[in-house]
């Protein structure tokens, strides 16, 4: 199983910089702006620090997936740069199911603004763009990709040459596609999806394996980040459960929702998490429910 799955939005594009570009350049051919190129180079260094654990881990490998759009492929090129030697890269796969939501062909700017206003009234998930896709359509193809990915993870086909390597998947895609990836992965509802904010250019989300083998955003990201992204307290509770919890320890637990102090280092406490019969060094700070 990969230790991390890192979702990265592409750098600023010429279309982000000037939406009029969409009127005469096909969406998939839009390139990065100069600012976007710099963003991609910078985020590559940040991601390498994450997967190498600030240089302390040497037994890591990466497998890249990328949307077929020009701006995502350019972002990937800058992420790799000279930061990821060939012996660390297992492969690069272009994956069409990770492409941007289709808004039709050449996009008139005024028509695009009207579509966005109508979509906000109708509901972002179900509204289908004329001659294009709804978020629900994108969700379906992202779900198809995840079914493929899960099968490959279960059969260890992603890194069958040396399963002992610490594998990291890096997926370079688009803002909405990333949100729908997370929605499918964590089984979030449509209402919860509507509360999420779109990732900024070259912003990334890290899903990392927790104590019990579940992927969680809370293993890497701070709670204030999760709140800023639009996760509700219920969704954050779920992320913490995935990262550190067990049914035995969380069955009668209420998390402190507005505090980032979820752990302490007191030993011999009843709150210790148990894994494989041994106690871990960190525990969840909790309030026992009253009967």
Domains of the chain: 4-209 (3.40.50.1240), 248-288 (no CATH)
Binding residue numbers for substrate: 9-16, 71, 111
**Burial letters 228-264, b for 16+ CB under 10 A, else e:** ebebbeebbbbbbbbbbbeeebbeebebeeeeeebee
SS3 58: coil
Q: How far apart are the first and last CA of the chain?
A: 40
Q: Which residues form the catalytic set?
A: 10, 100
Predicted structure pTM score: 0.84
**Cα gap 221→244, rounded to integer Å:** 14
φ, ψ of residue 223 in degrees (nearest 5):
-65, -35
**pLDDT tens over the chain, length 291 residues:** 899 999 999 999 999 999 999 999 999 999 999 999 999 999 999 999 999 988 788 889 999 999 999 999 999 999 999 899 999 999 999 999 999 999 988 888 888 889 999 999 999 999 999 999 999 999 999 999 999 999 999 887 787 666 667 999 999 999 999 999 999 999 999 999 999 999 999 999 999 999 989 999 999 999 999 999 999 999 999 999 999 985 444 443 434 444 444 444 333 333 434 444 444 433 333 323 332
Residues belonging to the binding site are 9-16, 71, 111
Alpha carbon distances (Å) from 107 to 22, 24, 73, 102: 5, 8, 22, 11
């Amino acid at each position: 199983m990969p230790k991390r799955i890192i979702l990265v939005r592409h750098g600023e594009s010429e279309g982000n910089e000037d939406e009029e570009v969409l009127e005469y350049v096909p969406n998939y051919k839009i390139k990065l702006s100069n600012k976007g190129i710099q963003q991609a180079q910078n985020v590559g260094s940040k991601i390498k620090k994450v997967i190498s654990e600030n240089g302390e881990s040497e037994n890591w490998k990466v497998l890249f997936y990328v949307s077929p759009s020009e701006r995502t492929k350019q972002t990937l090129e800058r992420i790799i740069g000279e930061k990821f030697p060939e012996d660390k890269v297992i492969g690069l796969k272009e994956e069409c199911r990770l492409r941007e939501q289709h808004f039709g062909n050449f996009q008139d700017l005024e028509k695009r603004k009207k579509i966005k206003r109508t979509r906000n009234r109708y509901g972002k998930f179900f509204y289908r763009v004329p001659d294009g896709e709804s978020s629900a359509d994108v969700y379906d193809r992202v779900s198809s990709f995840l079914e493929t990915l899960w099968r490959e993870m279960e059969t260890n086909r992603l890194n069958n040459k040396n399963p002992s390597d610490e594998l990291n998947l890096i997926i370079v895609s688009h803002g909405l596609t990333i949100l729908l990836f997370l929605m499918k992965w964590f089984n979030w509802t449509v209402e919860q999806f509507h509360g999420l904010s779109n990732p900024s250019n070259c912003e990334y989300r890290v899903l990392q394996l927790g104590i019990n083998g579940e992927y969680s955003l809370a293993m890497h990201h701070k709670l204030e980040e999760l709140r800023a992204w639009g996760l509700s307290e219920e969704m954050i509770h779920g992320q913490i459960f995935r990262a550190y919890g067990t049914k035995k320890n969380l069955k009668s637990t209420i998390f402190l929702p507005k505090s980032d102090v979820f752990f302490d280092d007191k030993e011999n406490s009843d709150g210790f998490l148990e894994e494989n019969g041994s106690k871990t060094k960190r525990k969840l700070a909790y309030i026992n429910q009253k009967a």
